[in-house]
Amino acid sequence: MTPAITVLALSGGVGGAKLALGLERVLPAGELAVLVNTGDDFTHLGLRICPDLDTLLYTLGGVVHTGQGWGRADESFGFMEELRRQGGPDWFLLGDRDLVLHVERTRRLAAGERLTVLMAEFAQRFGVRSRLLPMSDTPVATLLDTEAGELEFQHYFVRLRCTPQVRALRFAGAAQARPTDELLNVLHSKALQAVILCPSNPYLSIDPILAVPGMRAALRASGVPIIAVSPLIGGRAVKGPTAKIMQELGIEASPASIASHYAGLIDGLVLDHADAAHAEALAMPVLCTDTLMSTLADRERVAAAALELATALSRSRARSRA
């Protein structure tokens, strides 16, 4: 019998994948589902590439390049070497094994298959115990209004290395997207105990998920505690452009800003000890721990802290109803 999902994590990027791995390791096998950002997806060299989904796939499948946090550890780059020799665009690195995934995904999507179904099959072949759920089967593209013009996410993030100043963001195609039946089944399940927002970039990784019509309402209607893990430590992001984008958008890089950004959605927030002084000013329950996830033990510790806060909130609700 397939285990029931007890925890749903919202994730995008390397930081999200780290916490997802921690959650998978502290939960019983098969009880985790990860709702993954697909706003980063794009078509390159005629191939449909899903960076956040693949990072989760490789991380939970045990083949990720641990030094990078993305890509495969057992990778070769003969394709890229020949692409450069032929004068092709080489700014987005594609490994030979990674390329197989993109080719097969592109072929099957063109045949009318759903991304959710494809990722379930890929996960099974990689031995992933958790369920990987794209935020929607309808394409959504994160677009950034910058001083260099409007940019697709990968052009901003990879080709231009996050250099242009960001003025605004939008999610093209979000209005036509919908939560999948697979996700709604998880959210409607009585087995579900918590929703965890990973310490992914709130604006680039979590907001595309929440931009899908009906997503926020569906998450809240689950009735379980929703916990966010702050992506900031002492006002700075461990990795990626979170703090830079916040500054450029005129938002203070602080726990208060993270709490305000998720207001009306989350019930509690996990902070790093470096930000503990901010806890009392936040209008929600807070748990402090060391949120830097350098090792497997770190990932498990942060995962356990998020689940501990969710459990505490569940018990508090039960007592208030008694």
Q: Give per-residue pLDDT as tens, 225-266.
A: 999 999 999 988 877 889 899 999 999 999 999 999 999 999
Q: How many helices (H) and strands (E) does the chain have?
A: 12, 14
Q: Is 86 exposed, middle or buried (0-12, 13-18, 19+ CB in 10 A)?
A: exposed
Report strand pairing: 131-134 vs 32-36: parallel
Per the document, the length of the chain is 322
Dihedral angle, C-alpha 270, 227, 41, 180, nearest 10 °: 170
| pTM of this structure | 0.96
State the pLDDT at residue 240.
81
CB atoms under 10 Å from CB of 68, counted, come to 13
Query: Whole-angstrom Cα distance, residue 72 to residue 90?
Result: 18
Residue ranges of the chain with per-residue pLDDT less than 50:
none
Rg (alpha carbons) of the chain, rounded to whole number? 19
- Whether residue 228 contacts residue 262, with contact meaning beta carbons closer than 8 Å, is answered with yes
State the pLDDT at residue 2.
78
